[in-house]
Structure 1
Amino acid sequence: MTAPAQETVPARETTARHAATGSAYAAALAGTPPFDGLRITGTERPTATGFAALTLFVTAEEPDGAERRFVVRAAPWDTRVYPEPRIAEQYELLRILGRETGVPVPAVHHCEPSARLLGGPFLVMDLVPGRVPPDFPSYHRQGWIAGLPEEDRARLWWATLEAMAGVHRLDADRLGLGFAAPPDGGPPGTAQQLEHYARHTAFFGRAGDPVLTEALSWLRTHLPPEPGPPGLLWGDARLGNVVYGEDLRPAALIDWEMTGLGPAEVDLGWFLWMDRFLSEGVGGERLAGLPGHEETAERYGELLGRPLGPLPYYEVLAGFRFALITSRVERLVLAARVMPPGVPLVLHANAKAQLRRALDRVTGRS
């Protein structure tokens, strides 16, 4: 199914709407599915839901008094992290995964392509109860995962890898998931993932950056062969995008903004890169009990039933993309003036430093 077109509005209009109060959000959503027939009793903007979207937790009441909880994910045009919001594609993907596969995802209820209500297109889905690991401060430093016994940390890690492998074992063609690929960059695969970001270095604010230029050149020169037909990619595959149940197994894989088509190594490389960034990348140590990256790669090959491609390549690819994204995030943070004057922003600097170290390893400079 082709995703519907998404409408955009001028930045001055979306900025005003983005600043709406909770009651204004409720008024905007009233009458929109699935809230027609329900009474909205509360809206909340959580503080730890990533950078790429406006997120609202909405509580509503059925006519019989039963309470329901939803998540609204909107993409205001002037504060978007990615070149295209792709809300409609996310909605259709979650709809298919929820109805036709065993991948744990939230049930979706509505996709609104218009930007008039919340400043950008949005989707509505169930709020899945459970716990989500923090990114800042890192789960390696504090939080509920740090409080688990080591054997439970390992159990959570392997359960996450099994759920991710379930995504990668899907037959994307049979499910009709061609729309998940980015709209530019050539045929689906590793090269498309690379070139999609390469085409938007100016949008991310890093055109001509020497570290990213070197990384892009190395990635193009060392592009590996595809291991098989392109499969579905989660995109932002990491512990912080999983809702965990009491049994420490994934109750839902969330945040599919970066979805695409390509080899599973793209997701695995990102997963390992983000785990490294949230430990080594911020000057910390990995939690004891979490399986090592080599052990993880070996097990993941077993889950896929095939040898893995060169993971150092896919980790550099992850580092290239992450450095671009963190650059865009910092520009948005500075523009919004949400940090006190004089407070240094180190997210992008840390991301680029980790990419520099990875380039040194793969080029033999370290």
Structure 2
Amino acid sequence: MSSAQPPGLDLEQVRGFLDRERPGLVGGPLDARLIEGGRSNLTYVVTDGTGRWVVRRPPLGHVLATAHDMKREHRVISALHRTAVPVPEPVLLCEDDTVTGAPFYVMEFVAGTPYRSAEQLAPLGAERTREAVLGLVDTLVDLHAVDPAEVGLADFGRPEGFLDRQLRRWGKQLAASRGRDLAGIDELHAALGRALPVSPAAAVVHGDYRLDNVLIGEDDRIKAVLDWEMSTLGDPLTDLGLLAMYSAKLDVPHSPVSTTAAAAGHPAPAELIERYAARSGRDVSSLSWYTAFAWFKLAVILEGIHYRYTLGQTVGAGFDRIGELVPVFIEHGLTTLQEG
């Protein structure tokens, strides 16, 4: 979507704010387009005809400030920009709702591609796909190697009891969107609770780490890790478990949930886990729990979407088939936990 005035962004007001706070940054009238594909916060590419920046703001009509905390996102990329983790350079944070209706922040524009499906990866070929995905693991190791205290993030989360809180949170989420019987999901939730592992030392956790949340450059290297809205201090293996889950082949024909795992050359979860262990020195012997938890979490998210679909609250194509996937995710979760 391209527009001189996209929804949720008052370009004249934003320009005025930038001129006041960073005189000389912008050289002319601003134009903007909303980047499609974002699941929560809104992302725009803004240009004055010469320079390009990215603006992030909460979704329109948002209620919970804590769920779309611009200051928090800006804080984590500001802290990580001084490390080996590739993040866009932060430019400015605006906490004044009167400028464009909600807090927002501005960061540099980074050129690159977010690969969202196996079809998108196909033109790269097997070898380049493999390198890009292995780079995802290496960047995750770099992220988890950051000392939170050294970059000013010592109070960025509550690592104590992290896994227990996560499990309870997603259990409540399931209860809130339960409109049908789901064989095995209570069994999976209970089994995860009984087998709760002891977390390693806390690290900065991305919270939604996968290939379509990074930008890959033409040299197949990661140019920027994006979408930090779920980041916190917690158990680093939750990021790895999620990555392992997204790297498993679903074997669901014409799945409405797109993954990159079926692309030629895409490394299997076991190889990604082994590479992470070798490079980080972390014990990954309980990784099956984290991967099973990721399957459970996604099953709950998909069930929530299905529940809203049954109430007529979703718009767009593919929602009618989301419900079919939930039992598949539950089964993967149970199998993964049993195999571990």
- Normalised by the size of structure 1, how large is the TM-score? 0.77
Q: What amino acid maps onto 1:55 in structure 2?
A: T
Pair 128,198 (structure 1): closer, same or farther in 2 beyond 3 Å = same
Pair 251,241 (structure 1): closer, same or farther in 2 beyond 3 Å = same
Moved over 4 A (4+): 34-37, 79-83, 199-203, 206-212, 281-285, 327-337, 362-365
The aligned counterpart of 1:241 is 213
Query: Which runs of structure 2 are paired with 1:1-366 in the superposition (5 Å)?
Result: 21=6, 25-33=10-18, 37=24, 38=26, 39-48=28-37, 50-60=38-48, 67-76=50-59, 78-79=61-62, 84-99=67-82, 101-134=83-116, 139-140=117-118, 142-143=119-120, 145-181=121-157, 187=160, 189-201=162-174, 205-206=177-178, 210=182, 212-226=185-199, 228-276=200-248, 279-280=250-251, 286-328=262-304, 338-339=315-316, 344-347=319-322, 349-350=324-325, 352-362=326-336
161-170 or 20-29, which deviates more: 20-29
Pair 82,30 (structure 1): closer, same or farther in 2 beyond 3 Å = closer
Q: What amino acid maps onto 1:357 in structure 2?
A: E
Q: What are the ranges of 5 or more consecutive residues in structure 2 without an aligned counterpart?
A: 256-260
Deviation, structure 1 residue 222: 1.0
Query: CA RMSD for the aligned pairs?
Result: 3.2
Q: Is residue 203–residue 236 contact of structure 2 (8 Å, CA) maintained in 1? A: yes
Distance across 2 between alignment mates of 1:149 and 1:94: 32
Distance across 1 between alignment mates of 2:307 and 2:53: 30
Q: Is residue 41–residue 60 contact of structure 1 (8 Å, CA) maintained in 2? A: yes
Distance across 1 between alignment mates of 2:178 and 2:234: 25
Deviation, structure 1 residue 148: 1.6
Q: Deviations over 1:335-358 (max 9, x none)?
A: 776327xx64333542x2232112
Q: What amino acid maps onto 1:157 in structure 2?
A: V
Q: Is residue 161–residue 300 contact of structure 1 (8 Å, CA) maintained in 2? A: yes
Q: Secondary structure at the match of 1:71?
A: strand
Q: Secondary structure at the match of 1:346?
A: helix
Distance across 2 between alignment mates of 1:293 and 1:180: 29
Q: Deviations over 1:262-286 (max 9, x none)?
A: 2321001111222337x53565771
Q: Deviations over 1:222-254 (max 9, x none)?
A: 10112x311111111000011111110100011
Distance across 2 between alignment mates of 1:74 and 1:84: 12
264-273 or 68-77, which deviates more: 68-77
Q: Is residue 216–residue 223 contact of structure 2 (8 Å, CA) maintained in 1? A: yes
Deviation, structure 1 residue 325: 3.3
Q: Is residue 248–residue 269 contact of structure 2 (8 Å, CA) maintained in 1? A: no
